[in-house]
């Protein structure tokens, strides 16, 4: 289903702490997203004026959950702002405050406005050939896995976090197995260790992963070795989210792909390796870099 | 507010800045609404070159104060595939098509113009002269003499309206515009992005600082450059008789009006479309409300 | 973090941008605290010319997105009264004095340099070459050849360190820097303000739109220009051996560090001092905290 | 007394409506201002991000009142922010919301931070030769007259406003005579008419005026004709407020004067005429305008 051709103004319905994260909920007049899709978000007031007078551009966030049905709009001082719609539902986003944009979004209160463009991008595809779904997440990367688990009949969910505070984010999913870097919650270790053990028992699986690049690269590598299909939800800096700026490219076997329209979910087989955002070791061409040209 | 631009009838004065709106990708994302609510009076496609380009290595984006820096590096599928694959799709848009091309030599540019001249789907050609000269490293558009020479050589190869997109990274943009006009340009457009640098955010202490962008330097766009854009558009409009397409940081109808008041015939929306794909539609709406201007 | 700059020992790398801090007025406003807490490692005075100038008619200021546009027009009391009235007051500052001068011809510049050479209170001279050439209207600093010629003629007239303040309104600032170095400049400083235009806010409908600034066009400064300043400083530092004074939108120690990383030896705070007269003091403080850089 | 050489962080103690205006009160660690002096103000949070992402520069405001003595700081969620000082007092500013800067300042709540540089500029001088003080104000221009009335033993106060809503601002002064443009409060007419009638009876006066340029020009002209000394508090766009930018100049008989250091109060005799801010008919020199030069 195509996205509405215009950013629309959502009304924040809740902003709840979930461990070290915030869950931002907003009434969404649009249709339901498919798991793995994202929205470009910006606060409708005071977007800008933060650190270095940013944010200026909208920011990309995965839909973490979507509740269908007429959404309730809380009382708001500013009636003009409140935004009802017969259809639609409530979109949930999981936020980690890492800079001016996420910081501003984490401040939003019920009744306040949220600009959203979406749902955007290509999401997860269902497992084929009777394979079992294994969802592997790290940190805030668990967001798209929650909505994917909602859509699947059954899935194994393996999550890794920095520490106990962040591990509370696991409540976004149902009966997830959790590991932490410091062992302060669940087993101490890496989520990829859980994944390997699980795949030893359940090789007939499809892996769905989202998290930091090193984790995704480890997932990609170990699935490649075992010949297990994997779908990876990647991140990259985005300006537009709808294919306009060519800024969000990631290197694939067939050259650069715009993550916002060809992703954010990519088949692991398309990737030679998952790069750190900000790493630029790869250049598929011998052409000279065009300094200063758009 | 219908407008005649180089003999092309336009519904209003708002177009897009080349490379800031991909109508084909947008049609994939937004479906038929893209065509039904198409906000631009004419569509300017992203710069194409003779041979395909993959563009610069990522990261390609940096957010600046009231703007952004990009180092995209003009990725494109090259003239041949553009003509074969994209042109038919773009011809379906409810607006005239302006094809933006760039070449690093008069020969290359002539080839591009000749190819465009042959296609009826194309209403006009925009020539991006912000291309670095292989010898000097400067934009070929930065020197009036050099610009006039190149244009003089390529102008005869096409009978379509030729818009020269000037580079803002020069000492005297008005002199470049005059040179372009005298060499047969039917219009000029400006400003392109300002050469800019984005340092990598400080990581582990001791790590060597360097550029954030894969391309090293990039181009600054958005509201931060609007005052510079207005100065260059005003300077150019005062010196040339051909129509001027003004752009640089336009976010509202009031901003667009400032460019028209400075002498522009058309205005283009670029970076603002990233913040809202229908920003140009909003601006056109604001236009029709006196209040806006 | 003491620094040798052209043989002058400086306590730290922060100075002021010429024309953005009037130490004499500040002493009137802030009293002896000005001298006790003086934030700059060296003081750069506002551009003086041979003859007095009243400057441009008001309004002279416009606030832009993440910056400001000014059209001050270099008001100053002229060389003679500056030397007689201001120099003794500036000599009392607890920091070396750099006098910024501008002339519209080699003769004028030579006269200014000779006068500075004679005064022991002056540690160095900064030559502002953003002066419009009366014939071409372009900044004399915009063309490398012209710049080299002028500097070649004036350089011998003073034995004091000569800093050439380049104009950013040119095609190739690095080439200008190389020309300045080859003609005997001991250092270069950049960037000056970017040529910019501020339209008058819409008043009664029908009223003719025009420039807001009494001077017509102005110069853009502040954070909006920092990405352009960093690109120009990096380009210049890569091509010259002489020290570079970097400026343009510096607000924090992190910004200052970005210029030093790009190759600058000193950095200057300009517009940010308008927001807080002791901004430079804060930045120096932030410097001495590792966190900042 | 010199101003502190650094902007300092005041804590807002109150933000009260006064007719169409707001009275912003803040605990001020600095010393008392003299009537007619001003401060450069900026909100300590979210200065920027308004219309066209402004404000960027601080804004100039006259001290409207200054209450000496230890100032009470209201409870604030953020203790770090609260700012006590043994000396000091409470500064009052009268605000009219005309753009992004005043708009932001009008939003400030008790406990929030306010950057202030001041007191700045040259204020009013006491009447000489036993002359009576006549204070003439228009609109928000009454601000410096209020603090001046506080300092004077006695003064006649004549104020003009657009309408009744704005006329409520008159409460900032004591027993003022009020006229309005629309007659909705007090007499219908111009404050300069009141002034002429008053000067007919009390010619041995010194006039102190602040308000819109046309009003000030009328005051200047009629005082000049009658040979009555007048001190005018002018306005102009300011970037720095301490003589650094040369941006705030106004034309005087002796050339351009920096209003922030040579004013804002100027002797009417120094002025050929009071210009509209933004009008630039006057250029004391024959030198060519230097386009694009700072
Ligand atoms: C498809 C997709 C889905 C996502 N889903 C989620 C989600 O569900 N939840 C979530 O919390 N996050 C998600 N993200 C990440 C989120 O978009 C970023 O965390 C957010 O954009 C950061 O913005 P910021 O302003 O808070 O921080 P910024 O400072 O903009 O970004 C932080 C990082 O960006 C870089 N950076 C620093 N300064 C700049 C600058 N000036 N310009 C550009 N980059 C800079 C640095 O590497 C820094 O570490 C997703 C991203 C994508 C692409
Ligand atoms: C000494 C002095 C004392 C003052 N005392 C008071 C006082 O006590 N109370 C009070 O309310 N005001 C006072 N003012 C006026 C006050 O400083 C201005 O109203 C304020 O700066 C307006 O800022 P703004 O952002 O709200 O509106 P702005 O939009 O910045 O200013 C409004 C006006 O500025 C012009 N303008 C519009 N856009 C811009 C722009 N981008 N850049 C520059 N100018 C622009 C237009 O003429 C517009 O009408 C005083 C001014 C001075 C100089
Ligand atoms: C991401 C990006 C890509 C661009 N690509 C091109 C391009 O391919 N060809 C071109 O002539 N201009 C290109 N431009 C320049 C814009 O067309 C426009 O001139 C510039 O961005 C200023 O307008 P704005 O501030 O409204 O964005 C690009 C700009 C951006 C931000
Ligand atoms: C109001 C103002 C006046 C200036 N006057 C001068 C001047 O007289 N001579 C000069 O060389 N530069 C002058 N400059 C330029 C500054 O020194 C500096 O190069 C420029 O402002 C960029 O730095 P910034 O962004 O930190 O302000 C002036 C800048 C401003 C804003
Ligand atoms: S974010 Fe702009 S193309 Fe992907
Ligand atoms: S406001 Fe800067 S000199 Fe007066």
Please report residues of C whose CB lies closer than 8 A to that of B231. 195-197, 217
pLDDT above 70 (res A241):
yes
Coil, strand or helix at B59: coil
Measured between CA atoms, how close is B216 to chain A, in angstroms? Answer: 6
Query: Given CB atoms, is B69 within the 8 Å cutoff of chain C?
Result: yes
Average pLDDT over residues B223-245: 98
Least confident of A57-66, A272-281, C3-12, C155-164: A272-281
What integer best gives the mean pLDDT of chain C?
Answer: 94
pLDDT band at residue D275 using 50, 70 and 90 as cut-offs: confident
Instruction: Looking at the CA of D236, name the nearest ligand.
Output: 2
What integer best gives the mean pLDDT of chain B?
Answer: 94
Ligand 5 near A245 CB (within 6 A): yes
Q: Which of B59, B61, B196, B201 to mutate to test the pocket of ligand 1 (most atoms within 8 A of CB)?
A: B201
Contacts of D145 (CB under 8 A, 6+ apart): D135, D136, D137, D157, D159, D173, D208, D210
List the subunits that have 3+ CB pairs under 8 angstroms with B.
A, C, D
Most confident of A267-281, B277-291, C213-227, D73-87: C213-227
d(CA C106, CA D60): 42
Whether B254 sits inside 8 A of C202 (CB atoms) is: yes
- Choose the catalytic residue: B131, B170, B176, B293: B131
- Choose the catalytic residue: C6, C116, C131, C170: C131
Whether A47 sits inside 8 A of D49 (CB atoms) is: yes
Query: Which residues form the pocket of ligand 4, taking CB atoms under 6 Å from any ligand atom?
Result: C 17-20, 46-47, 70, 72, 74, 100, 128, 165, 192-193, 221-222, 225, 247-250, 269-272; D 245, 247, 294
Q: To 10 degrees, the CA torsion angle through C93, C94, C96, C97?
A: -10
Coil, strand or helix at C11: coil
Q: To 10 degrees, the CA torsion angle through D43, D46, D51, D55?
A: 40
Check residue C131 and give its pLDDT. 74
Least confident of B118-127, B132-141, B177-186: B132-141
Predicted-complex ipTM score: 0.94
CA-closest residue to ligand 1 atom 13: A61
Whether C55 sits inside 8 A of D246 (CB atoms) is: yes
pLDDT above 50 (res C249):
yes
pLDDT above 90 (res B157):
yes
Instruction: Yes or no: say if D36 and D22 are a contact pair by the CB < 8 Å rule.
Output: no
> Which is higher by pLDDT, A161 or A48?
A161
How crowded is residue B88: how many other Cβ atoms within 10 Å of its Cβ?
Answer: 10
Measured between CA atoms, how close is D33 to chain A, in angstroms? Answer: 31
d(CA B40, CA B48): 20
Check residue A5 and give its pLDDT. 96
Q: Which of D18, D59, D250, D260 to mutate to test the pocket of ligand 2 (most atoms within 8 A of CB)?
A: D59
Measured between CA atoms, how close is C259 to chain D, in angstroms? Answer: 22
Ligand 1 near A37 CB (within 6 A): no
d(CA B133, CA B143): 11
What integer best gives the mean pLDDT of chain A?
Answer: 90
Instruction: Yes or no: say if B35 and B44 are a contact pair by the CB < 8 Å rule.
Output: no
Strands C122-128, C194-197: pairing is unpaired
Token couple for D35: 């009537």
pLDDT band at residue B293 using 50, 70 and 90 as cut-offs: very low
pLDDT tens digit string along C87-117? Answer: 999 999 999 999 999 998 999 999 999 999 9
pLDDT above 90 (res B227):
yes
Whether C74 sits inside 8 A of D290 (CB atoms) is: yes
Check residue C133 and give its pLDDT. 66
Ligand 3 near B71 CB (within 6 A): no
Check residue A279 and give its pLDDT. 42
Please report residues of D whose CB lies closer than 8 A to that of B66. 53
pLDDT tens digit string along C226-235? Answer: 999 999 999 9
Whether B275 sits inside 8 A of A57 (CB atoms) is: yes
Best mutation target among B44, B55, B133, B284 (most A Cβ atoms within 10 Å) is B55
pLDDT band at residue D14 using 50, 70 and 90 as cut-offs: very high
Selecting from A2, A5, A278 the residue whose C-beta is nearest the C-beta of B59 gives A278
pLDDT band at residue C1 using 50, 70 and 90 as cut-offs: low
Check residue B30 and give its pLDDT. 97
List the subunits that have 3+ CB pairs under 8 angstroms with A.
B, C, D
Instruction: Looking at the CA of D264, name the nearest ligand.
Output: 2
d(CA B137, CA B147): 14
Selecting from A5, A58, A278 the residue whose C-beta is nearest the C-beta of B34 gives A5
C 88-127 residues with CB < 8 A to B: none
Q: How many CB pairs under 8 A join A and D?
A: 16
Chain A residues within 8 angstroms (CB to CB) of chain D: 46-50, 53
Strands D187-188, D249-252: pairing is unpaired
CA–CA–CA angle C219, D246, C56 (5° rounding): 60
Average pLDDT over residues B135-152: 87
Whether D48 sits inside 8 A of A53 (CB atoms) is: yes
How crowded is residue B269: how many other Cβ atoms within 10 Å of its Cβ?
Answer: 27
Known catalytic membership, residue C131: yes
Instruction: Yes or no: say if D145 and D162 are a contact pair by the CB < 8 Å rule.
Output: no
Ligand 1 near A278 CB (within 6 A): yes
Q: How many CB pairs under 8 A join B and D?
A: 4
Calculate the alpha carbon distances from C217 to C14, C99, D154 in Å: 29, 26, 48
pLDDT band at residue B202 using 50, 70 and 90 as cut-offs: confident
Query: Given CB atoms, is D55 within the 8 Å cutoff of chain C?
Result: yes
Least confident of A156-165, B265-274, B280-289, C51-60: B280-289
pLDDT above 60 (res D65):
yes
Query: Which residues form the pocket of ligand 2, taking CB atoms under 6 Å from any ligand atom?
Result: C 62-63, 201; D 38, 55, 59-62, 93-96, 98-103, 140, 143, 235-238, 264, 278
Most confident of B210-214, C213-217, D38-42: D38-42
Query: Given CB atoms, is B206 within the 8 Å cutoff of chain C?
Result: no
Average pLDDT over residues D57-64: 98
Ligand 3 near B190 CB (within 6 A): no
Ligand 2 atom closest to Cα of residue D21: 11
Whether A3 sits inside 8 A of B25 (CB atoms) is: no
Order of all β-strands in the sheet with A132-138: A187-188, A177-180, A156-161, A132-138, A205-210, A230-233, A265-267
Please report residues of B whose CB lies closer than 8 A to that of D292. 231
pLDDT tens digit string along D72-113? Answer: 444 444 434 333 444 689 999 999 999 999 999 999 999 999
Ligand 5 near A57 CB (within 6 A): no
Q: Which of D61, D209, D232, D276 to mutate to test the pocket of ligand 2 (most atoms within 8 A of CB)?
A: D61
Beta bridge partners of A230: A207
Ligand 3 near B192 CB (within 6 A): yes
Please report residues of D whose CB lies closer than 8 A to that of A53. 48-49, 53
Instruction: Yes or no: say if C47 and C17 are a contact pair by the CB < 8 Å rule.
Output: no
Query: Which of D224, C170, A66, C210 is CA-nearest to residue B262?
Result: C210
Whether B231 sits inside 8 A of D53 (CB atoms) is: no
Ligand 3 near B45 CB (within 6 A): no
Token couple for C56: 């441009």
**Class of residue C241 by CB neighbours under 10 A (exposed 0-12, middle 13-18, buried 19+):** exposed
d(CA B221, CA B40): 19
How crowded is residue D86: how many other Cβ atoms within 10 Å of its Cβ?
Answer: 6
What integer best gives the mean pLDDT of chain D?
Answer: 90
Whether D53 sits inside 8 A of A50 (CB atoms) is: no
């Amino acid at each position: 289903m195509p996205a509405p051709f215009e950013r629309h103004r959502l009304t924040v319905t809740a902003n709840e702490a979930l461990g070290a994260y915030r869950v931002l909920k907003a009434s969404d007049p649009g249709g339901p997203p498919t798991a793995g899709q994202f929205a470009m978000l910006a606060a409708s007031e005071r977007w800008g004026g933060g650190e270095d007078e940013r944010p200026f551009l909208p920011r990309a966030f995965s839909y973490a959950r979507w509740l269908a049905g007429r959404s309730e709009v809380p009382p708001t001082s500013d009636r003009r702002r409140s935004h009802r719609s017969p259809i639609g539902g409530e979109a949930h986003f999981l936020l980690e405050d890492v800079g001016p944009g996420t910081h501003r979004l984490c401040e939003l209160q019920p009744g306040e406005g949220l600009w959203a463009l979406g749902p955007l991008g290509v999401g997860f595809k269902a497992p084929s050939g009777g394979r079992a779904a294994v969802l592997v997440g790290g940190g805030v990367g668990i967001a798209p896995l929650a909505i994917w688990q909602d859509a699947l009949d059954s899935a194994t969910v393996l999550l890794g976090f920095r520490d106990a505070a962040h591990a509370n984010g696991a409540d976004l999913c149902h009966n997830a197995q959790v590991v932490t870097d410091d062992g302060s919650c669940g087993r101490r270790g890496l989520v990829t260790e859980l994944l390997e053990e699980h795949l030893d028992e359940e090789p007939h699986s499809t892996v769905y992963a989202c998290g930091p690049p090193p984790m995704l690269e480890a997932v990609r590598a170990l699935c490649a070795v075992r010949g297990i299909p994997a779908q990876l939800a990647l991140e990259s800096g985005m300006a537009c989210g709808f294919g306009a700026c060519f800024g969000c490219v990631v290197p694939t076997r067939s050259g650069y792909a715009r993550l916002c329209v060809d992703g954010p979910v990519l088949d692991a087989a398309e990737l030679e390796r998952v790069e750190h955002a900000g790493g630029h070791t790869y250049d598929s061409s011998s052409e000279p870099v065009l300094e200063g040209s758009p | 507010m219908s407008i005649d631009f180089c003999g092309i009838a336009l519904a209003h004065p708002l177009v897009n800045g080349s490379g800031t709106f991909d109508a084909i990708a947008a049609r994939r994302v937004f479906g038929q609404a893209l065509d039904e609510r198409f906000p631009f009076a004419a569509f300017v496609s992203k710069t194409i070159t003779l041979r395909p380009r993959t563009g610069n290595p990522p990261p390609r984006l940096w957010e600046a104060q009231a703007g952004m820096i990009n180092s995209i590096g003009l990725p494109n599928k090259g003239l041949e595939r553009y003509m074969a694959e994209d042109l038919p799709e773009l011809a379906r848009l409810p607006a005239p098509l302006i094809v933006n091309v760039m070449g690093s030599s008069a020969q290359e540019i002539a080839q591009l113009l000749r190819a465009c001249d042959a296609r009826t789907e194309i209403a006009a050609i925009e020539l991006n002269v912000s291309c670095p000269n292989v010898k000097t490293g400067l934009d070929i558009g930065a020197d009036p003499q050099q610009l006039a020479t190149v244009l003089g050589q390529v102008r005869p190869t096409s009978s379509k309206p030729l818009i020269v997109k000037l580079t803002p990274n020069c000492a005297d943009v008005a002199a470049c515009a005059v040179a372009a006009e005298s060499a047969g340009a039917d219009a000029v457009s400006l400003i392109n992005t300002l050469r800019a640098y984005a340092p990598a955010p400080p990581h582990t202490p001791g790590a060597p600082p360097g550029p954030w962008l894969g391309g090293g330097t990039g181009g600054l766009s958005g509201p931060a450059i609007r005052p510079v854009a207005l100065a260059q558009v005003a300077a150019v409009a005062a010196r040339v008789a051909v129509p001027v397409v003004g752009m640089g940081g336009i976010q509202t109808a009031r901003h667009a009006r400032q460019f028209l008041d400075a002498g522009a015939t058309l205005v283009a929306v670029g970076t603002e479309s990233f913040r809202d794909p229908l920003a140009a539609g909003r601006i056109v709406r604001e236009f029709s409300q006196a209040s806006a201007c």
